[in-house]
Amino acid sequence: MSATEPGIHDMTAEAYHADPALGSSGARRLVNECPAAFRLAVQETKTEFDIGTAAHLLVLEPDAFGAKVAAIPHDNYKTKAAQEARDAARAAGRIPLLPDQIQAVRAMRDAILADPVAGRAFRGGKAEQSLFWRDPEFGVMCKTRPDWLPGHGRYLVDIKTSTTADPRKFEKAIAEFGYHQQAAWYLDGVEAVTGERPARFAFVVVSKKPPHLVTTCWIDDEAIQWGRIQNRRARGLFAWCLDHDQWPAFQPDITGPRAAFTVGLPGWATKELERRHEAGEFTPPQEIAA
């Protein structure tokens, strides 16, 4: 269980992530993968994550950017010297960035702050506040760390760096990465801790590619409600696994013995086959000739 008391805390990202309370990313992994995947998950260190984290820092905590980011004075990581500098930065808990990456991060920051909608979102509040609460239904400790906690409390905002700021493509990312669950988790967490529920949740999406276009995407109520349904399942799973000290892999019934799955085609593939069949695409040529 969490060692952190319910409430709002100023703490480092490392301390927050080390706390065993259930967070949004863990809830998504529990529901969309399995308890074993949640239990065995490791923190990934990919370049795209580095750039996203650095962009967050520069927008939300600019004073911490210099201490948490290490500028690597090389054009790439092909040389041994560059690799050693990168590894030393990671060992020191800093984010290694090449010069062109730092330039891109600064450009993304400038694009967000210059945007007439997104630029107004990060005023009059606090960044990276850690919120902890005990779920009243299942009794487990939960946590969340919103990018920005506005003083007015009307909405929450999260920054997403992406290959594109196209809102239509971001809808696909919402489904793929469970961002609707994240939005619901954050809204419920703020309400649980403060007693006041923000009315809306928005993602500020910035493209990692020039010209670093920006869009602000409100998450609609239907998506939030689906996220809450999935998150409730995650909290129940988390409580069950803790109570039984079991973290099963994929299986049809988590409470039962290991069993095989019966699988088939996804719904969209079946519909496509039906359409093609009705169009006569699968009719043998002998029948067509007859």
pLDDT in tens, 220-267: 999 999 999 999 999 999 999 999 999 999 998 888 888 899 999 999
| The pLDDT of residue 168 | 95
**C-alpha span between 195 and 268 (Å, rounded):** 42
Q: State the residue for tokens 């109570």.
A: 243
**C-alpha span between 278 and 13 (Å, rounded):** 56
CB 240 within 8 A of CB 234: no
Rg of the chain on CA atoms, in Å = 23
Tell me: the pLDDT tens digits for 151-176?
888 999 999 999 999 999 999 999 99
**Confidence band, pLDDT 50/70/90 cuts, at residue 1:** low
| The pLDDT of residue 47 | 64
Is the pLDDT reported for residue 48 higher than 90? no
CB 27 within 8 A of CB 231: yes
| The pLDDT of residue 114 | 95
Tell me: the pLDDT tens digits for 81-117?
999 999 999 999 899 999 999 999 999 999 999 999 9
Among candidate residues 157, 145, 144, 153, the one with its CA nearest the CA of residue 201: 157
**C-alpha span between 237 and 149 (Å, rounded):** 28
Residue 1 vs residue 12, higher pLDDT: 12
Positive or negative: CA dihedral 270, 275, 278, 279:
negative
From residue 273, give the alpha-carbon distance in Å to each of 177, 268, 269, 286.
Answer: 28, 9, 6, 21
Q: Which residues contact 235 (CB under 8 A, 6 or more apart)?
A: 22, 27, 135, 137, 138, 140, 142
- Partnered with residue 202 across adjacent β-strands are 157, 218
CATH number 3.90.320.10 is the correct assignment for the domain at 7-32+48-62+105-244? yes
Query: What's the mean pLDDT when you consider all of the chain?
Result: 93
**Confidence band, pLDDT 50/70/90 cuts, at residue 189:** very high
Share of the chain above pLDDT 70, in %: 97
Q: What is the mean pLDDT of residues 193-221?
A: 96
CA atoms within 13 A on the CB side of 33: 17
Measured in residues, the chain has a length of 290
Is the pLDDT reported for residue 53 higher than 80? yes
| The pLDDT of residue 36 | 94
Is the pLDDT reported for residue 141 higher than 80? yes
Q: Where are the domains of the chain?
A: 7-32+48-62+105-244
Is the pLDDT reported for residue 45 higher than 60? no
